[in-house]
Structure formats: structure tokens, C-alpha cells
Amino acid sequence: MNSSQLPHPHTLDTLAALSQETDYDPDSMSVDHARAFIRRCMEPMCSVERVHLRDALGRVLAENIVSAIAVLGFDNAAMDGYALRFADMVRGQETRLQRIGVSFAGHPFSGEVGAGQCLRIFTGAMMPRGADTVVMQERTREEKGVAILAPDAVTHEGQNRRFAGEDIAPGVTVFTRGQRLRAPELGMLASLGIAEVPVYRKLRVAFFSTGDELVSFDATPAAGQIYDSNRYALYGMLQQLGVEPMDMGIVPDQPEALEAALTAAAAHAEVVITSGGVSVGEADFIKAMLERLGKVLFWKIAMKPGRPLAYGMIGNAHFFGLPGNPVSAMAVFYQFVREALLVLQGQAPVMPLPTFRAALTTPVKKAPGRTEFQRGVCEMKDGQSVVTPIPTQGSNILSSMSRANCFIVLPMDSGNQPAGTVVEVQPFDGLMG
């Protein structure tokens, strides 16, 4: 068993409780219900490691970051110009001040600016003692060591001056545990002089495809065989989420082979994801096997595409059994597994997929009783968000995912929708990069 895994009494207890709950209906689970069930079983499970800033992009912070210093560290000029005492400015007229020196960025002026004096200063250069304000150089001219400032070139004390601690005050919590580090955070950490950060170790996710009909693209399909596409779509979705994917290949529909693959996967990863083999016809022998290896619940989700879903624990690993149809596998991944993997990685908070509203350009067919995730193309027309469903909506038609840029989410109870109906869409942007 790998050392980074934490024990899971919480998840096992929750799973046991879930299967007892009176509203637990494995034969027609609503999308919201399944999502909430899975969420209850999730807690962060990765140990902590320290990484250099260069390796920190997309990683999840494992501790709060408190600033030891102020950023900016000292008052400095926001403009090229002259530093002076605001009180010396003559209202409504030119002001003449004696220039006593210069402060460059990185080369401060060591003296003090007195009454009637000013200092040539450049952006980012330290404010000299005595001066409180900067006049921008475009409002000045200089004659024989005297700076001549245009009337009312500044209007208040402190203008064009940056104050120490303006960006980050010392002692404040700059970032919190669970935050995912993006480019601005890397820059801010560098500005605090921090070269290494504590992050959660990458979540290891082992995955394989099941099915006697599948071959890898390095083999030639025999009659009745197809290339395995799910493993690559899954690999892409996993990479997008910042986990460490472990590709375990294709496993035939044989109990011994499946058992060996599941056992090996659970021993090496925190999460095991399979595709195929969880639909009604095939599920029985897998169910019996999973009962022996761990605790797994089988659900028929009231959604289209993507009805069957298995979730549970195998050994110490979370297990997700996705449906085999390529569109179903992707839809189930985005609606359930994505959020779960974010929680397991330690990210907090984890928000649901963002949605917005758009008007249908064509009617859609929809049977009440299940939530549908139709693939659509969303665009702006005449200042309005509109969405057009892809004409081929079969759960085996992977090109529908590729041609689409969003899911059109049609709620459980809704029926056919005429053109013009305003519907909810989940953009793929940010999901697929």
C-alpha cells in the first residue's frame, strides 16, 4: 500500500450509510443526488511535499502562506518626475524648487528634501526623506538646477507615491490552504521572497478500459474490434485536472484479469477509474468481484448520456466505474468525477461547474424523467447568447463532444423545448483547455 494514502474510515462509514438510506435508489438516482452522495465520501487524501515555484503552477497549497515582509517594502515613486513637499506647491501658479539630486530605482538618494527643494526621481525609486509627493515629469521643466512645476501639477499630498505594504502588509494571510496556484500567485510568492511552497502531492489516478472488443492503436483491430478511445479522452481530462495519471491499458472482460488489474491499481493509486462493463448485462460478475475487493455501489443515474455509474472503495482507493460509451464516459466524468478529484486533491473550495443561460436556436427533443446533457455550440448573436444543439446526440458519437463547446443542461422534469427557450449551458472552456 502506498505510504501517502490516509485511512478512510469516514468514506467507508459514509458508503455503508448511503446504501442504507431510505432515499438511496440505485435504480434511478438523480444527478444532484449522486453528486451529493459522492461529495459526502470525499476528503483530501494527499500528503504534503515542498516544491520550487517553477514546479508549483496548478498545484494545491497545503498550508496558509503568511507574509513575513511588506510588499512594497518602502515608499517609492509611481511616476518619473520630481519628489517634493506638497506644502511647497504654490496654488494656481508655477512652483520653482531647487533640485538637490536624483533617486533612481535601486539607487536611493541618501539625503533629505528640505523646504523649497525637490529631487529628480524615477518610477520605483525610493522616496527620499522629507518628500511626500511626486509631480509627473510631463508637468515640469528644468532650468539651471531649478525645477519649474506647472500650476496645480498635483492636487493632494501623497499623489504619485506608492506606499510601503500597499500590495501586501506584513503578517497577513496571503493565500490559504486549498488554493490552487496560478500565474499571479507564483509572482506574488516571488515578491514575498518565497522560493519553495508546501503543496499536496499529486493525486495518483490509475485508469484502464475494459472490453474484449477493444484494441490499442498500436494493434490492428480484428473483425468486431474497435480502437480504445476512452483511455485517451480520460487521460486528457485527468491531465487537465492536475493529477498524475497512470495508464493501465486495456483489460479483457475476464474476472481474473479484472480482479488482478483492480487490485494492482488500488495498490498504486489513490483513485481507480475504469470505463465499460458497468451496464446491466455485464455488471453482475463485476459486482460480485467488487464486493470481495471493497465496497462499491452501482447506480443507474437518471441522466442522458451516461446512465450506469459505479462508485466505492477498492482497498484504500476510491473507485469510479464509468460507462463504456465514449460520450457517456466523458459526461459522467465531468458531472461527478471532476468535482470528486478536486476535493481529493485538497482544493478548497470546490465550486460546481459554472453555467450560464442561452436561448435555443432550434427545438430540442427531451423526455421527462432524466437530466440531459446535450452537446451544443454556444455563441453570441446580436448581443445575445444562443445555443445550437449538435444534430447527432448518440452516446457513442464522440465527434459530438469535439464539435460542441458546451453541454446544454436540460432538467429532469422538462420535456421537449421549442426554439427560443432559454436553457442552462455548461461551457467546456476551462474544462478542456
Residues lying near ligand AMP in the complex (CB under 6 A): 209, 211, 213-214, 226, 228-231, 275-277, 279, 282, 323-326
User: Considering only 201-209, 319-327, 329-337, 401-409, which stretch makes contact with Mg ion by CB under 5 A?
Assistant: 319-327
Positions in 206-245 near Mg ion (CB under 5 A): 211
Identify the sign of the CA torsion 225, 226, 230, 235. positive
165 vs 221, which CB is nearer to ligand AMP?
A: 221
**What is the closest distance, in whole angstroms, from the C-beta atom of residue 388 to ligand AMP in the complex?**
26
**What is the closest distance, in whole angstroms, from the C-beta atom of residue 306 to ligand AMP in the complex?**
10
User: What is the distance between the alpha carbons of residues 136 and 140, in angstroms, rounded to a whole number?
Assistant: 7
323 vs 389, which CB is nearer to ligand AMP?
A: 323
Which of 128, 245, 276, 294: binder of Mg ion (CB under 5 A)? 276
**What is the closest distance, in whole angstroms, from the C-beta atom of residue 219 to Mg ion in the complex?**
17
79 vs 297, which CB is nearer to ligand AMP?
A: 297
**What is the closest distance, in whole angstroms, from the C-beta atom of residue 323 to ligand AMP in the complex?**
5
Would you call the peptide bond into 349 cis, given omega within 30 degrees of 0 as the criterion?
A: yes
Give the one entry of Mg ion, ligand AMP, none that residue 103 binds, where binding means its C-beta sits below a cut-off of 5 to 8 angstroms depending on kind. none
Q: Which three cell numbers stand for residue 285?
A: 460478475
**What is the closest distance, in whole angstroms, from the C-beta atom of residue 198 to Mg ion in the complex?**
42
179 vs 209, which CB is nearer to ligand AMP?
A: 209
**What is the closest distance, in whole angstroms, from the C-beta atom of residue 16 to ligand AMP in the complex?**
27
195 vs 226, which CB is nearer to Mg ion?
A: 226
Q: How far is CA 357 from CA 9, 37, 178, 207, 234, in A?
A: 41, 27, 30, 34, 28
**What is the closest distance, in whole angstroms, from the C-beta atom of residue 332 to ligand AMP in the complex?**
11
Positions in 183-212 near Mg ion (CB under 5 A): 211
Give the one entry of ligand AMP, Mg ion, none that residue 230 binds, where binding means its C-beta sits below a cut-off of 5 to 8 angstroms depending on kind. ligand AMP
Give the one entry of ligand AMP, Mg ion, none that residue 372 binds, where binding means its C-beta sits below a cut-off of 5 to 8 angstroms depending on kind. none
Which of 92, 96, 90, 86 is CA-nearest to residue 142? 96
Structural contact between residues 33 and 23, judged by C-beta atoms closer than 8 angstroms: yes
C-beta nearest to ligand AMP: residue? 324
166 vs 213, which CB is nearer to Mg ion?
A: 213
Give the one entry of Mg ion, ligand AMP, none that residue 14 binds, where binding means its C-beta sits below a cut-off of 5 to 8 angstroms depending on kind. none
225 vs 385, which CB is nearer to Mg ion?
A: 225
**What is the closest distance, in whole angstroms, from the C-beta atom of residue 328 to Mg ion in the complex?**
12
**What is the closest distance, in whole angstroms, from the C-beta atom of residue 271 to ligand AMP in the complex?**
18
Give the one entry of ligand AMP, Mg ion, none that residue 275 binds, where binding means its C-beta sits below a cut-off of 5 to 8 angstroms depending on kind. ligand AMP
User: What is the distance between the alpha carbons of residues 358 and 385, in angstroms, rounded to a whole number?
Assistant: 5
Greatest pairwise CA separation for the chain in angstroms: 95
Burial class of residue 121, CB neighbours in 10 A (0-12, 13-18, 19+): buried
128 vs 323, which CB is nearer to ligand AMP?
A: 323
Residue 312 binds to Mg ion (criterion: CB under 5 A): no
Strands 308-314 and 244-251 turn out to be: unpaired
Question: Binders of Mg ion: how many residues, by CB under 5 A?
Answer: 4
User: What is the distance between the alpha carbons of residues 258 and 260, in angstroms, rounded to a whole number?
Assistant: 5
Give the one entry of Mg ion, ligand AMP, none that residue 325 binds, where binding means its C-beta sits below a cut-off of 5 to 8 angstroms depending on kind. ligand AMP
Give the one entry of ligand AMP, Mg ion, none that residue 214 binds, where binding means its C-beta sits below a cut-off of 5 to 8 angstroms depending on kind. ligand AMP
**Single-letter amino acid code for the residue at 432:** M
11 vs 209, which CB is nearer to ligand AMP?
A: 209
**What is the closest distance, in whole angstroms, from the C-beta atom of residue 227 to Mg ion in the complex?**
14
User: What is the distance between the alpha carbons of residues 98 and 145, in angstroms, rounded to a whole number?
Assistant: 6
Close Cβ partners of 155 (under 8 Å, ≥ 6 residues apart): none
Which residues of the shown chain bind Mg ion in the complex (CB under 5 A)?
Answer: 211, 276-277, 324
